[in-house]
Amino acid sequence: ASEYEIQVIPGVTSVSASAAVAGAGLVRGDQTFQVLPATLSDGALAARLADGNGAFAILKMGRHAGRIKTLLARLGRLDNAMLVEKATWADQRVMPFRDFEGEAAYFAQVLLPARAQEATLVLNGVAVLCLNTAALATAKMIRAALPNATLYGLKGRVDEKAVDRLFDNVTDTLRHLFEAGTPIAAIMASGIVIRALAPLLGEKRAEPPVVALSPDGAHIVPLLGGHGGANRLAQSLSQITGGFAAITTAGDNALGLALDEPPAEWSVSNAQNAKAIVAKRLSGENVGLSVESGDASWLTGFSAGDDVVVTHRRIDVPGKTLVLHPPTLALGVGC
C-alpha cells in the first residue's frame, strides 16, 4: 500500500442518503436494520418483515413497486413507508409509498422505519412454559405483552414467586393444556414438545396453536396449528422478543398468504378447501378469483375464475371452491 497514494473521500450509503432526504429516523438502540431486494418472493419478504424490532430498506423497486405496495398493505406496513428516488439529486422524488402509482425507477428505494415494539397479532390466554432460570426473562417479557397470558414454571428449577403456576411434569402439563385447547408458547427444545404431544395428534383443525422458543427468544418455531393461530402467535412473539419466526407452512412461505387464515375481520366459509387451492398455486397452475364485494387487494396473482369466491353472501358452491367473506356488513342498533 505504501507504493500508492491513498485518498479517503467521505461519503454515505444510498440508504443513509435516502433516509436523510426523507427525514426518516430508521432505528434506535438495539433495533435491527435489514436491506432487502424487491426481487425476493412475497413469502420471503413477509418472513423478514415479520421482525417487529427492525427497520428495512427495500431496494431495486422498478417494476416490483406495485407488488411490494400490495404486500406492505397486507402486512400493515404501508402507512409509514416512504419511496425515495434519486436521493440528493436535483430531480429527487420523496413521497409516502401509499400515494405512489405506476412503475418506480429501478434504483428507487422504500424505507420502513422500525415501528413501536408491540405485539400487533396476538392471541388471548396463552400458556407460557418455562423450564429454568435461563428462559425466565424471556418468559416474563412474553407474559407482560400478551393479554391474559399465564406463566408456568418447572418446580424446583424456577422461583415460585416469579411465575403464576408451578408444574412438576412437563409431559403431563403440555398434554393437559393441549387437550384444553390452550395456545402454548413453550420455551424449550422442540423435541420435548413433539414427543409429549404426538399421541394426541389427530384432526389438525382441532389443534390449538403450539410454538417452541429458544431460551433467549431468538428462534421461534410454530409446531402445531400453523393456520390455527400458531403462525400469528409466532409473529407476535417475534415482535416481543426481537427474534425470528420460522414460518414453514407452504402457502405462507412461498406465497406470503394463508387462505384459511385471512386478514383480521375476514372469515372462511369452507377452510378445508384452502389446501387444494394453495397446492395449485405452488404448482404454477392458474387459480381463478371472483370478487363480489369487499377489498380483496391482498389476494394477488389470481386469474379470473371461481376457484376462490369473495362474497358477503352465504352461497352454495362447487365442491372445491373456497369461499371468503370480507368485512363489509355492519349491524347497528339505536335510534
For 254-322, the DSSP string reads: IIS--TTS-STT-EES-GGGHHHHHHHHHTT---EEEESSS--TT--S-EESSSEEE-SS-----TT-E
Residue range 98-109, pLDDT digits in tens: 899 888 899 999
> What pLDDT, on the 0 to 100 scale, is given for residue 329?
80
Residue range 248-282, pLDDT digits in tens: 776 665 566 677 777 778 888 888 888 888 888 87
> What pLDDT, on the 0 to 100 scale, is given for residue 121?
52
Which 8-state DSSP code applies to residue 227?
A: G
Same domain, 156 and 245: yes
> What pLDDT, on the 0 to 100 scale, is given for residue 203?
64
The domain boundary residue, chosen from 226, 254, 282? 254
pLDDT of residue 154 exceeding 90, the answer is: yes
The grid coordinates listed for 79 are: 402507512
Residue range 20-31, pLDDT digits in tens: 888 766 766 567
Same domain, 234 and 269: no
Same domain, 244 and 131: yes
Q: Is residue 269 part of a domain?
A: yes
Residue range 206-227, pLDDT digits in tens: 789 999 999 999 999 999 986 6
Q: Which of 21, 65, 72 is nearest to 50 (CA)?
A: 72
Same domain, 182 and 244: yes
d(CA 308, CA 323) in angstroms, rounded, equals: 6
Q: Is residue 120 part of a domain?
A: no
Q: Is residue 4 part of a domain?
A: no
**Can you tell me the mean pLDDT for 12-25?**
80
CA separation, residue 267 to residues 19, 29, 165 (Å): 39, 39, 35
In this structure, of 48-52, 100-104, 300-304, 318-322, the range with the lowest mean pLDDT score is 48-52
Count of helices and strands (H, E) across the chain: 9, 17
Same domain, 88 and 193: no
Q: Is residue 174 part of a domain?
A: yes
Q: Is residue 121 part of a domain?
A: no
d(CA 305, CA 30) in angstroms, rounded, equals: 48
Contact 100, 83 (CB under 8 A): yes
| Alpha helices (H) along 162-201 | 170-179, 190-197
What phi and psi values does residue 83 have, to the nearest 5 degrees? -95, 130
Return the CA Rg of the chain.
23
**How many domains does the chain fold into?**
3
Same domain, 139 and 224: yes
Q: Is residue 265 part of a domain?
A: yes
Task: Report the percent of the chain where pLDDT is more than 70.
Answer: 89
Same domain, 137 and 94: no
> What pLDDT, on the 0 to 100 scale, is given for residue 120?
45
Task: Report the percent of the chain where pLDDT is more than 90.
Answer: 41
The domain boundary residue, chosen from 65, 88, 112? 112
> What pLDDT, on the 0 to 100 scale, is given for residue 335?
58
> What pLDDT, on the 0 to 100 scale, is given for residue 159?
92
The grid coordinates listed for 101 are: 402509482
Same domain, 59 and 154: no
Same domain, 49 and 158: no
Residue range 155-181, pLDDT digits in tens: 999 999 999 999 999 999 999 999 999
Q: Which of 170, 134, 149, 109 is nearest to 240 (CA)?
A: 149
Average pLDDT value for the chain? 85
**Can you tell me the mean pLDDT for 56-79?**
89
Same domain, 192 and 296: no
Q: At what angle do helices 230-241 and 136-145 cross, to 10 degrees?
A: 110
> What pLDDT, on the 0 to 100 scale, is given for residue 117?
46
> What pLDDT, on the 0 to 100 scale, is given for residue 111?
92
Domain that holds residue 172: 127-254
